[in-house]
Structure formats: structure tokens, C-alpha cells
Amino acid sequence: MGEQEQNLEVIMGLIINGGNAKSSAFEAINAAKAGDFEKADEKLKESDGFLTEAHNVQTGMLTEEAKGNHAKVSLLTVHSQDHIMNAITFRDLAGEIVDLYKKMAEK
């Protein structure tokens, strides 16, 4: 596999993991809204798993950069990083929303 194909595979992995993390976080909100807090917690953990995968890929990219193996930065690379950052923000917000639904259910 050539360098360009390898970079594309890494970038697409980031986009896919970011999208999956965001989707799982959204499912957690929906589950909490329906009162299924066990499922909500499960979906938040699932989201965290996708974000961990993305983080591991990013760490690999940073390690290569530190070794002097500079990656070509394309619009797709920037998009993948944006996707991850949005997923992290959405996951954090989803955790807060799930907590709010739990508190509302206690009353």
C-alpha cells in the first residue's frame, strides 16, 4: 500500500470513528429522553470507545510527525480533525444532557 493510500485510510478512520462517536452520543440522549438510563450509559461508553480509537490514530500521526515524517496536510486531513473535535464536543454535551435527564427523573 502506497503512502497516499495509507494516509487516506488513516483519515477515513478518523472520520468514521468521529461519526460513530457522535451517533452513539446522540443515541445516548435519545435513550435518556425515553428514560432508559442503562442504555444511555452504554451508548456514552460506546461513544468513548470510538473516540479512543480516533485518539490512538491521532497519537500515531503525532508520533510520526515527531520522528520527522511529516504528513501532507490536505483539506481532507483538516476535515477529519474537525470531525473528531466536533464529536468530542458533542460527546461531552451528551453526557451533561443525560445527567440532566437522570436528575429530572429523580424528582
- 106 contact partners, CB below 8 Å, separation of at least 6: none
- Domains of the chain by residue range: 3-106
Question: Can you give the pTM of this predicted structure?
Answer: 0.89
pLDDT at 45 (0 to 100): 98
pLDDT at 94 (0 to 100): 98
Q: Please list the active-site residues.
A: 79
Question: Any idea what the Cα angle at residue 86 is, between residues 14 and 50, rounded to 5°?
Answer: 45
Produce one character per residue of 89-98: b if its CB has 16 or more CB atoms within 10 Å, e if not: ebbeebbebb
Q: Domain 3-106: give its CATH architecture.
A: Up-down Bundle (1.20)
41 marked as part of a ligand binding site: no
> What residues in the chain have per-residue pLDDT under 50?
none
